Amino acid sequence: MIDKKALYTISQGVYLLSTVDPATGRAVGRVVDAVSQVASGDPKRVSVACMKEGFTSKVLLESKHFALTTLAVDAPMALIEAFGYQSSETVDKFLGWELAADAAGTPYVKDGAIALMCCDVFDVLDMGSHWLFLGDVVEAAVFSKAEPMTYAGYRAMKAAAKAAKAEDKPAAPASGGKSKWRCMICGFEIEVDGDELPADFTCPRCGVGRDLFQRV
């Protein structure tokens, strides 16, 4: 028996992968979480598992170069929706975001990015459902010390947003005019007087803002 939830316990981050279609010169990209560092010497190497379905993987087989940005814990959900829930085949996902380009001229989105890793693909392995792209890191930079988003944190945020939508209004305060809140990213809990967290509240453990707190 294979309980696929066991695989959800593998810690992964959330990244944007972009590349340029050599046939058209157009930038394409997708959200990926299946990223690993596979060699730390010289060269440093990463692997990215890309579903064969969709557009970016087809382009990457030809372009053989990608830019990978690590998303911050508070990266805009709209960015993940834009790059993770539609296809570059029909949509220009880069429209409306702040862009920069790596040394090879591959555009990447600056919004929500805390680091950049650019890779030349040196091998591609067939995994069945996915292509496993193996890349030499040829350029890398850190933009911010903010915490990276984790795939588990992303799933928790999605679940909380769905639950909030299902409820018409938030639950009543726990007791005596107090309310208890839990950070959707790191699980930190806090009880405060009244119905709301202060407007400038940030998680003392992981630093995210009050938008990522859910009433317990």
Ligand X SMILES: Cc1cc2nc3c(=O)[nH]c(=O)nc-3n(C[C@H](O)[C@H](O)[C@H](O)COP(=O)(O)O)c2cc1C
Rounded to a whole number of angstroms, the minimum distance from the CB of residue 12 to ligand X is 8
Tokens of 136: 């030499």
CB closer to ligand X out of 34 and 190: 34
Tokens of 201: 């509240």
Q: Should residue 213 be labelled a site residue for ligand X when binding is judged by CB under 6 A?
A: no
Q: Should residue 76 be labelled a site residue for ligand X when binding is judged by CB under 6 A?
A: no
Rounded to a whole number of angstroms, the minimum distance from the CB of residue 114 to ligand X is 16
Nearest to 104 by CA among 152, 63, 61: 63
How many residues bind ligand X (CB under 6 A)? The answer is 21
Q: Should residue 54 be labelled a site residue for ligand X when binding is judged by CB under 6 A?
A: yes
The phi and psi torsions of 132 (rounded to 5 degrees) equal -100, 110
Name residue, tokens 């508070």.
74
Name residue, tokens 């009543």.
172
Q: Should residue 146 be labelled a site residue for ligand X when binding is judged by CB under 6 A?
A: no
CB closer to ligand X out of 14 and 146: 14
Q: How many CB atoms lie within 10 A of CB 159?
A: 12
C-alpha 98/C-alpha 75 separation (Å) is: 13
Q: Should residue 80 be labelled a site residue for ligand X when binding is judged by CB under 6 A?
A: yes
Residues that bind ligand X (CB under 6 A): 14, 28, 30-34, 49-51, 54-56, 80, 84-89, 154
